[in-house]
């Protein structure tokens, strides 16, 4: 019902999102670039964040 009301193509709260629909901010672009660099040099990295940042929604 809310899809029609807001004119949405799909459920934005669903678990499956097409990668082309994900917003890529400048910070995410920079992070992606760093991941690719580490991958190219076959290095190691440590990704840290605030507690709960990596948890999926309940």
Read off the pLDDT of residues 14-55 as tens digits, 9 standing for 90 and up: 777 788 878 899 999 999 999 999 999 999 988 888 887 877
Domain definitions of the chain by residue range: 23-58
34/57: higher pLDDT? 34
Determine the Cα–Cα distance for residues 24 and 9; give it in Å rounded to an integer.
Answer: 19
CB contact at 8 A, 2 and 9: no
Give CA–CA dist 10/4, Å, rounded: 10
In angstroms, the CA 17 to CA 7 distance is 17
Count of residues in the chain: 58
Give the Cα separation of 47 and 37 in Å (integer).
Answer: 14
E strand spans, 1-58 = none
In this predicted structure, the answer to whether residue 56 has a pLDDT above a threshold of 80 is: no
pTM for this predicted structure: 0.53
């Amino acid at each position: 019902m809310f899809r029609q009301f807001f004119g949405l193509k799909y459920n934005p709260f669903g678990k499956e999102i097409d990668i082309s629909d994900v917003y890529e901010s400048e910070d995410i672009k920079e992070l992606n670039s760093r991941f690719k660099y580490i991958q190219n040099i076959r290095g190691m990295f440590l990704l840290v964040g605030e507690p709960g940042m990596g948890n999926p929604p309940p």
